[in-house]
């Protein structure tokens, strides 16, 4: 038979009353018994929520047994429930005075001080609340409620290490204490232990997913740590819960894109746009993903649409400018970079803003250089230098632009000034020997390059620069010997393997060259440069043309507007007798290249084969006029002479 709590308490009250009636004569023991009787009556009324009737009995119990703390504890609790804070504090204090080991009295005091602290914010109350809760926890280590309030107070007072100790204990006692996990995650994040913070947040959200603050912190930390797959899981759950939530879908798509899952990112951005066709963020995001997927035409269309909706969208213009560069539409790229210079940059320090503007100017400088507008290119790099605050990258860009415009003496002066300001970096030292070569001192350049590459044998860029000098000076044997020595130490270096293949092709060691290009492709199957070189080499030798075509098409899939790759495609079509396709691609190549001598030579061969000798000779002459080291000028001259004799 089950008995409810109130009935059981009534029984206890009657029993207590009976013992008092039977006790004769009255004395201290009888007063304590009567006090307990009054206490039990108070408890009974309190359990029935009749607080006004319960309080007098507790007061009477305290009067009858003035050394007892327990009636005062209950009295303090009832006063607190009635919001009579002063009386509650007075009762709890008396209870502590009578029995310092009464954990409940300390807990109630802590709650009262904490409530007052929240109400009026008096800083004097914080130490009182802290002390009360600390005593409560000391006396009753299993008092999770007091420990919880104590941890919050400690956090509010900057004592995060002490708070962490209590939060850990709460979680140990209550494994599903998700909010305490969130608080401990904040502490660990403040201590710099991001991994621990992420782990705690994930545990917390697994217990209770409806915690926006915990989710926001987790997202921020996962983004900081670039753990995008985990981010995509979070947003995926939100999208599953509410498929119409466009914002969460956009964030899911962004996380997927950053995690390298481009096809899934594309699908999510497209789904977001179905729900909100004018959403600029989704439009730009999809444009960026399509750029990575090499669908440049659709990416361009989307970014232009985004800009029509929001003309000052920096990321849209930045990405569009990059697409124009990839498409070798440099004039349009320059227009976009200049517009970016006019737009405000938000959420950056002033120094960062200047550096970003310097980078825009550098893009303008490179684009002007590709258009052979060297003065404009140099001017742009000068502007970049002014903003960059001594960043040596822009010093190097300026020197390179001067070299490209055949102003080697000015390049030397500019470089010397940059090198005098600080200990020269490998980048500037590499430019040093390139300037020597441009000034007509190739041997000095080679000796400097050798010394620098020996000083820093791990820096492949320096060794590759030396090989390029050997190549320009047609010292292919020296280049091959150097590369062999370096490959002994770094046999898996893609850069060195590629250069060895290129040098051996010049030395007509075609089988060895092919072997080295294949090693590159083993390590990087989508290396456009290696695919193109291997395909072009086969086409030049008029062998395995279908295989050659496959390599070149794979290269173009990586960079569809690359003029060198388009030239290779046109050339292999020429070798295959597909003259219309050859013409189409060779003419495209001219639009995408700065140095077009080889393409002109190929066009001359094409039109000669098509029977148009006048046009063929015109292109061969243009090939001779170009300062393109790839053009075998003696061979081209002989072709012009033979065409003249054929008339």
pLDDT tens digit sequence for 156-206: 899 999 999 999 999 999 999 999 999 999 999 999 999 999 999 999 999
Is residue 268 very low, low, confident or very high in pLDDT (cuts 50, 70, 90)? very high
How many whole angstroms separate alpha carbon 360 and alpha carbon 357?
Answer: 5
* Cβ-Cβ contacts under 8 Å for 260 (sequence gap 6 or more): none
Given 3-state DSSP classes, what are the helix, strand and coil percentages for the chain, each rounded to the nearest 5?
A: 80, 0, 20
How many whole angstroms separate alpha carbon 127 and alpha carbon 48?
Answer: 36
* Cβ-Cβ contacts under 8 Å for 410 (sequence gap 6 or more): 402
Give percent of the chain with pLDDT exceeding 70.
95
| pLDDT tens digits, 489-522 | 899 999 999 999 999 999 999 999 999 999 999 9
Instruction: Please report the pLDDT score of residue 20 as a whole number.
Output: 41
Whether residue 2 is predicted with pLDDT greater than 80 in this model: the reply is no
| pLDDT tens digits, 573-593 | 999 999 999 999 999 998 887
Instruction: Note the Cα 444 to chain centre separation in Å.
Output: 44
Residue with tokens 């930390």: 221
Residue 533 or 82, more confident: 533
pTM: 0.77
Is residue 347 very low, low, confident or very high in pLDDT (cuts 50, 70, 90)? confident
Residue 76 or 174, more confident: 174
Whether residue 27 is predicted with pLDDT greater than 80 in this model: the reply is no
At how many degrees (to 10) do helices 613-625 and 597-609 cross?
170
CB 137, CB 166: distance < 8 Å: yes
Instruction: Please report the pLDDT score of residue 494 as a whole number.
Output: 94
479 HSE (CA, 13 A, CB side): 25
The mean pLDDT value for 432-455 works out to 93
């Amino acid at each position: 038979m089950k008995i409810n709590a109130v009935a059981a308490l009534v029984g206890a009250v009657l029993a207590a009353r009976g013992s008092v009636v039977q006790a004769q004569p009255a004395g201290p023991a009888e007063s304590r018994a009567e006090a307990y009787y009054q206490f039990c009556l108070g408890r009974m009324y309190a359990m029935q929520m009749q607080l006004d009737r319960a309080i007098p009995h507790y007061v009477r119990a305290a009067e009858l047994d003035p050394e007892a703390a327990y009636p005062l504890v209950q009295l303090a609790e009832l006063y607190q429930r009635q919001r009579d804070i002063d009386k509650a504090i007075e009762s709890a204090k008396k209870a502590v005075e009578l029995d310092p080991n009464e954990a409940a009295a300390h807990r109630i005091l802590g709650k009262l001080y904490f409530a007052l602290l929240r109400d009026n914010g008096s800083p004097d109350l914080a130490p009182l609340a802290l002390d009360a809760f600390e005593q409560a926890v000391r006396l009753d280590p299993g008092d999770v409620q007091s420990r919880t309030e104590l941890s919050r107070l400690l956090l509010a007072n900057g004592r995060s290490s002490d708070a962490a100790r209590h939060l850990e204990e709460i979680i140990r006692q209550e494994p599903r204490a998700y909010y305490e996990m969130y608080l401990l995650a904040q502490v660990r994040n403040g201590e710099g232990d991001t991994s621990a913070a992420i782990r705690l947040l994930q545990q917390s959200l697994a217990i209770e997913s409806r915690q926006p603050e915990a989710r926001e912190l987790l997202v921020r930390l996962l983004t900081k740590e670039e753990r995008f797959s985990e981010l995509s899981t979070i947003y995926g759950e939100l999208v599953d819960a509410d498929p119409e939530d466009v914002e969460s879908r956009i964030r899911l798509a962004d996380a997927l894109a950053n995690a390298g899952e481009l096809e899934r990112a594309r699908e999510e951005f497209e789904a977001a746009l179905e729900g909100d066709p004018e959403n600029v963020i989704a439009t730009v995001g999809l444009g960026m993903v399509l750029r990575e997927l090499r669908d440049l035409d659709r990416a361009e269309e989307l970014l232009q649409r985004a800009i029509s909706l929001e003309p000052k969208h920096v990321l849209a213009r930045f990405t569009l400018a990059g697409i124009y560069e990839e498409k070798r539409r440099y004039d349009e790229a320059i227009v976009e970079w200049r517009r970016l210079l006019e737009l405000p940059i938000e959420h950056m320090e002033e120094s960062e803003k200047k550096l970003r503007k310097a980078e825009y100017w550098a893009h303008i400088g490179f684009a002007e250089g590709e258009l052979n507008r060297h003065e404009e290119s140099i001017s742009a790099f000068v502007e970049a230098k002014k903003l960059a605050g001594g960043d040596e990258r822009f010093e190097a860009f300026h020197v390179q632009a001067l070299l490209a415009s055949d102003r080697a003496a000015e390049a030397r002066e500019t470089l010397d000034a940059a090198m005098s300001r600080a200990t020269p970096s490998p980048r500037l030292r590499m430019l040093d020997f390139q300037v020597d070569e441009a000034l007509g001192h190739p041997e000095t350049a080679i000796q400097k390059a050798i010394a620098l590459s020996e000083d820093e044998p791990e820096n492949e860029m320096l060794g590759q620069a030396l090989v390029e000098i050997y190549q320009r000076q047609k010292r292919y044997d020296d280049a091959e010997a150097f590369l062999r020595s370096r490959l002994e130490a770094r046999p898996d270096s893609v850069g060195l393997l590629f250069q060895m293949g290129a040098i051996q092709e010049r030395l007509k060691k075609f089988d060895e060259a092919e072997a080295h290009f294949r090693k590159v492709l083993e390590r990087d199957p989508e290396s456009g440069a290696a695919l193109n070189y291997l395909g072009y080499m086969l086409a030049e030798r008029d062998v395995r043309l279908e295989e050659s075509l496959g390599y070149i098409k794979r290269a173009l899939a990586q960079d569809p507007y690359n003029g060198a790759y388009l030239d290779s495609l046109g050339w292999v079509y020429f070798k295959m007798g597909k003259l219309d396709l050859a013409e189409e691609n060779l003419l495209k190549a001219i639009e995408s290249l700065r140095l077009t001598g080889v393409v002109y030579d190929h066009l001359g061969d094409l039109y000669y084969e098509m029977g148009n000798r006048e046009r063929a000779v015109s292109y061969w002459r243009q090939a001779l006029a170009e300062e393109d080291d790839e053009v075998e000028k003696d061979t081209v001259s002989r072709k012009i002479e033979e065409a003249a004799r054929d008339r």
